Structure 1
Amino acid sequence: MATPVTGTRTAQAVLAWSRDLVRPPLLLAVQGLPASVRHIAGYHLGWWDRHGRPARASSGKSVRPALALLAAQSCGAPARSALPAAVAVELAHNFSLLHDDVLDQDTTRRHRPTAWSVFGTAAAILTGDALLALASGVLARSVFPATADDLSAAVLALVDGEQADLSFETRDDVDLAECVAMVEHKTAPLLAAACALGGVFGGASPEVVGHLRAFGESLGVAYQHVDDLLGIWGDPSTTGKPAHGDLLRRKKSLPVVAALTSGTPAGAELASLYRSDDADPVRLAALVEQAGGREWSESEASRLLAEALDHLAATDPTPRAAAELTALAHLIVRRTC
């Protein structure tokens, strides 16, 4: 058993620290947006209500900024050295959330109405576009301007994965390898970029940056497994999303595709009901579990966590940052919301 590192914070404390550290430069960046989208961005980020009055809504968990800051610390640099990376990945992440909510027609995020449902579809899309442009600008003006290209590559992969995810909705022949590849494009790149950019701003060698990127990639796929499990079995009071939301949309998520391709009677029944508009979502959830989809996703999340931690160990990280990155990785894979 590893010896505890003195002063190590819990994962929740790390996330709170990250939010506090990133909020001022993030707010400063958003205040530079045109007024037409600034208000919507601030609403989405939980800073004010729909009328522009200060609010105390959730701004999200701040996982990606925390990874960037800790990655820099793991290389022996101060966390603040990676603030441009942390702000940029958070802006890019929120661009993707604004667009995702429109694409999926989700009306709730972080326990409040989504931006598009309040301000309209076009306004939410344009606000997402503005956040993405802002993210690139933050990196382009930093001491490592070439990192803007790294973020762009991650976003292009994300868009490719999102397109694949949308195409799955009209197909009955999605196989498991396709689904995993979609996740490797849609979810993993931003977490990988957060870790890699943190390493770059922390002065890491290309080899170490490569391992940090691989750490984030494995963690990103594990993250999606957990997200998909919560999309079926998560408690709405903690997730802030409707019960069985992914099943109601007939989403081809990882556990669902694993069940559909399982070759089991439960998988066959699930395939039949998934083509129906009025199937009971409780029954659908039970069939995914009976066909082994839930167990497979849980097992894969654990395997990918171990793989991620092997890559982290290969960077020879500073002890406290290593302990906190490990705690954060475990929280990501064991979270309930």
Structure 2
Amino acid sequence: MTALKAPPGAPEVLARCAALVRPALRRAVGRLHPWTAEMAAYSFGWCEVGGAPATTPGGKGVRQTLAVLGARAAGADARAGIPAAVAVELVHTFSLLHDDIMDGDATRRRRPAVWKAYGTGPAVLAGDALFALAVETLAAVPQGARAVRLLSAALTDLVRGQADDLLFTGRPWTGPDRVTVEEYRAMAEAKTGALLGCACALGALLGGADEDTTGTLDRAGRHLGIAFQLVDDVLGIWGDPAVTGKPAGGDLRERKKTYPVLAALDTPAARALPELLDSPERAKEAAELIETAGGRTAALTEARTHTATARTLLARAPLAAGAAEDLLTLLDFLVGREL
């Protein structure tokens, strides 16, 4: 399978938006209790345990970028989207802190996860603090009531998606109670797509967009989120550890019910797959069978379908030209990450 290629302009878009948002994000974190502020700064890669400055690479900053581009797409100055960008970045980080605890993931971005570095209780507290700070950030803007409602709706979906994802682990690989690709798609939209859609919509709202435009951007972001999750699933099985920071086949050893696995299980070629999936030491064999059965191709095809839907939605919306182009560039980048 030939890897999808990322367009060269996306890293510049991400870097430009991150530079715009970072001062406001640091100021917001600085309002927290010093202990939770340190844990937050550690999670962003700004410091080490104990507070010594660090330059550890953080996340891609996708959600904050979408918020800034949402404001620009509405015809406003990019700075109008900064409160939305700060809020969604805080919520995303809060979700990662709690997610790592729930999944038992000991590392995040090639260093100890917050719960391993500081303890489970402190990490939960830091996540709670980031969530509260996100709400406070949005409540302070003129459109605060509507902005908080948008964020709350996205969080409700995010929690629903996370609940489904956790419940999936207890369901069988085959039979009437198996996880279907349709159920998986709904989970991915809620767990990943809701916050991406919210980021776009919040930025547009603060930029003065009407309800139809914010709704269209929300839907586009949700489709982007599904595609983003599907590519993550592929990377979780076949990704280069030097790029992903995770061991190859890690999702298989953890018995995660990801899209490539579910798609492969639906084919006659994968009759032996359940036995392999129940044997973590045979993850390499399982990956080979999943690819032979078409699971990898199915996931990337599905990702392209949702990318195309997002592009169609963006094309129909009355968006400012420059921002629309950046949104499309970012969309292609997120689905075209190197495998």
Amino acid corresponding to residue 318 of structure 1 in structure 2:
A
Q: 1:163 corresponds to which residue?
A: 163
Q: Helix, strand or coil for the counterpart of 1:23?
A: helix
In structure 2, how many angstroms separate the alpha carbons of the residues matched to 1:176 and 1:120? Answer: 36
Task: Within 5 Å, give how 1:15-164 maps onto structure 2.
Answer: 15-146=14-145, 147-164=147-164
Q: 1:290 corresponds to which residue?
A: 292
Q: 1:176 corresponds to which residue?
A: 181
Q: 1:301 corresponds to which residue?
A: 303
Amino acid corresponding to residue 111 of structure 1 in structure 2:
R
Question: How far has the Cα of 1:161 moved from its partner?
Answer: 0.6
Question: How far has the Cα of 1:72 moved from its partner?
Answer: 1.1
Task: Within 5 Å, give how 1:121-270 maps onto structure 2.
Answer: 121-146=120-145, 147-172=147-172, 173-260=178-265, 262-266=266-270, 268-270=271-273
In structure 2, how many angstroms separate the alpha carbons of the residues matched to 1:275 and 1:110? Answer: 27
Question: How far has the Cα of 1:90 moved from its partner?
Answer: 0.3
In structure 1, how many angstroms separate the alpha carbons of the residues matched to 2:59 and 2:38? Answer: 17
In structure 2, how many angstroms separate the alpha carbons of the residues matched to 1:176 and 1:139? Answer: 35
Indicate yes or no: 2:272 matched with 1:272: no
Amino acid corresponding to residue 275 of structure 1 in structure 2:
D
Task: Determine if contact 1:231/1:245 at 8 Å carries over to the other structure.
Answer: yes
Question: How far has the Cα of 1:73 moved from its partner?
Answer: 0.7
Residues 15 and 43 of structure 1: CA distance in aligned 2, closer, same or farther (over 3 Å)? same
Which string of whole-angstrom CA distances, capped at 9 and with x for unpartnered residues, describes residues 137-178 of structure 1? 100111111211211111111111111101111111111111
Residues 336 and 122 of structure 1: CA distance in aligned 2, closer, same or farther (over 3 Å)? farther
Structure 1: gaps (5+ residues): 1-8
In structure 1, how many angstroms separate the alpha carbons of the residues matched to 2:105 and 2:240? Answer: 16
Task: Determine if contact 1:86/1:194 at 8 Å carries over to the other structure.
Answer: yes
Question: How far has the Cα of 1:118 moved from its partner?
Answer: 1.0
Task: Determine if contact 2:224/2:310 at 8 Å carries over to the other structure.
Answer: yes
In structure 2, how many angstroms separate the alpha carbons of the residues matched to 1:331 and 1:163? Answer: 29
In structure 1, how many angstroms separate the alpha carbons of the residues matched to 2:199 and 2:171? Answer: 33
Task: Determine if contact 2:276/2:283 at 8 Å carries over to the other structure.
Answer: no
In structure 2, how many angstroms separate the alpha carbons of the residues matched to 1:178 and 1:239? Answer: 26
Amino acid corresponding to residue 221 of structure 2 in structure 1:
G
Amino acid corresponding to residue 203 of structure 2 in structure 1:
G
In structure 2, how many angstroms separate the alpha carbons of the residues matched to 1:180 and 1:293? Answer: 15
Question: How far has the Cα of 1:51 moved from its partner?
Answer: 2.0
In structure 2, how many angstroms separate the alpha carbons of the residues matched to 1:289 and 1:127? Answer: 40
Q: Helix, strand or coil for the counterpart of 1:241?
A: coil
In structure 1, how many angstroms separate the alpha carbons of the residues matched to 2:322 and 2:17? Answer: 15
TM-score (norm 2): 0.93
Question: How far has the Cα of 1:36 moved from its partner?
Answer: 2.6
Amino acid corresponding to residue 335 of structure 1 in structure 2:
R
Question: How far has the Cα of 1:113 moved from its partner?
Answer: 1.6
Question: How far has the Cα of 1:265 moved from its partner?
Answer: 3.0
Question: How far has the Cα of 1:111 moved from its partner?
Answer: 1.9
Task: Determine if contact 1:239/1:336 at 8 Å carries over to the other structure.
Answer: no
Task: Determine if contact 2:161/2:188 at 8 Å carries over to the other structure.
Answer: yes
Task: Determine if contact 1:215/1:309 at 8 Å carries over to the other structure.
Answer: yes
Q: 2:5 corresponds to which residue?
A: none
Question: How far has the Cα of 1:10 moved from its partner?
Answer: 1.5
Amino acid corresponding to residue 58 of structure 1 in structure 2:
P
Give RMSD over aligned pairs. 1.5
Amino acid corresponding to residue 221 of structure 1 in structure 2:
I
Which string of whole-angstrom CA distances, capped at 9 and with x for unpartnered residues, describes residues 217-270 of structure 1? 11010010011111111111111122211111100011111112x23232x211
Task: Determine if contact 1:108/1:240 at 8 Å carries over to the other structure.
Answer: no
Amino acid corresponding to residue 274 of structure 1 in structure 2:
L
In structure 2, how many angstroms separate the alpha carbons of the residues matched to 1:35 and 1:293? Answer: 47
Q: Helix, strand or coil for the counterpart of 2:179?
A: coil
Q: 1:3 corresponds to which residue?
A: none
Task: Determine if contact 1:75/1:203 at 8 Å carries over to the other structure.
Answer: yes
Which of residues 319, 322, 327 in structure 2 aligns to 1:320? 322
In structure 2, how many angstroms separate the alpha carbons of the residues matched to 1:316 and 1:142? Answer: 24
Task: Determine if contact 2:277/2:283 at 8 Å carries over to the other structure.
Answer: no
Q: Helix, strand or coil for the counterpart of 2:143?
A: coil
Task: Determine if contact 1:219/1:305 at 8 Å carries over to the other structure.
Answer: yes
- Percent of aligned positions that are identical: 47
In structure 2, how many angstroms separate the alpha carbons of the residues matched to 1:265 and 1:241? Answer: 28
Q: Figure out how many residues of one structure are paired with residues of the other and give that number.
A: 327
Q: Helix, strand or coil for the counterpart of 1:143?
A: coil
